Amino acid sequence: MLDRTMKRLDGTEQSLRDFAGQVLLLVNVASKCGHTPQYAKLEALYQQYKDRGFSVLGFPANNFGGQEPGSDAEIAEFCSLNYGVTFPMFSKISVKGDDIHPLYAEITSLPEPIGGEVRWNFQKYVVDRSGKVVAKFDPRTQPDDPELVQTIERCLEQSVPEGASSRG
Is 79 annotated as catalytic?
Answer: no
Beta strands in the chain (DSSP E): 5-7, 13-15, 23-29, 54-60, 124-127, 133-137
Identified catalytic residue from 1, 33, 114, 160: 33
Q: Residue 52 and residue 136: Cα distance in Å, rounded? A: 21
Radius of gyration of the chain (CA): 15
Residues serving a catalytic function are: 33
